[in-house]
Amino acid sequence: MFRAASHHGVHLGGRYLGSYLLLYCITFVETLCILFALGVPYPLVLSLVAGFADLLPVFGPGAVYLPVAFLFFVQGNPIKGVLLVAAWLIVCGVRQILEPKLLAASTQIHPLAMLAALYFALAANSFLLLVYLVCLLLTVQALRRAEILPNCFPAD
């Protein structure tokens, strides 16, 4: 019984991490295409930094887009600066659309539960609470798949 729960937990955790790695790769590819199209110097390096900065829950790829846009404003090229800010908003919007759908599909945890965990962690201003709540949701789902915990709703 516990072996099955452990197996489901490891499998579910791997799918969760794989989903986030896919999201980071999508951010990297989007940023690489945008920076290359706008003629920004060092697009590969900046795209890698944006992919890693995507780990930050609130600021994310803005850690790359906003300073580069500011640099273009200072250099007298406001059109590229505005385009970079618009591209940053598009990249963030794509992530906001893809993240709940991808996580729900890979872990079979309802997107509202993940959004609630994110909201409570942001309201408490605690990253550790976010990690705890996500681990709790993954554990409950693994125990439900191993049939140790019953399904709360008949549609599950």
- Within a domain: residue 50? yes
Instruction: In whole angstroms, give the CA distance from residue 123 to residue 37.
Output: 38
Structure tokens that stand for 112 in this block:
């509202």
Question: What CA–CA distances, in Å, run from 1 to 6, 95, 107?
Answer: 9, 37, 20
Domain count, the chain: 1
Instruction: In whole angstroms, give the CA distance from residue 61 to residue 102.
Output: 19
- Within a domain: residue 156? no
* Ramachandran quadrant class, 42 (left: phi over 0; alpha: psi -120 to 50; beta: rest): left
Instruction: In whole angstroms, give the CA distance from residue 112 to residue 155.
Output: 16
- Within a domain: residue 155? no
Mean pLDDT by 10 residues, the chain (156 residues): 71 81 91 93 92 80 92 93 94 85 80 82 84 85 78 61
3-class secondary-structure state, position 155: coil
Confidence at residue 49, expressed as pLDDT on a 0 to 100 scale: 92
pTM beyond cutoff 0.85: no
Instruction: In whole angstroms, give the CA distance from residue 31 to residue 4.
Output: 41
- Within a domain: residue 152? no
DSSP assignment of 130-141 equals HHHHHHHHHHHH
- Within a domain: residue 76? yes
10: containing domain: 2-145
- Within a domain: residue 78? yes
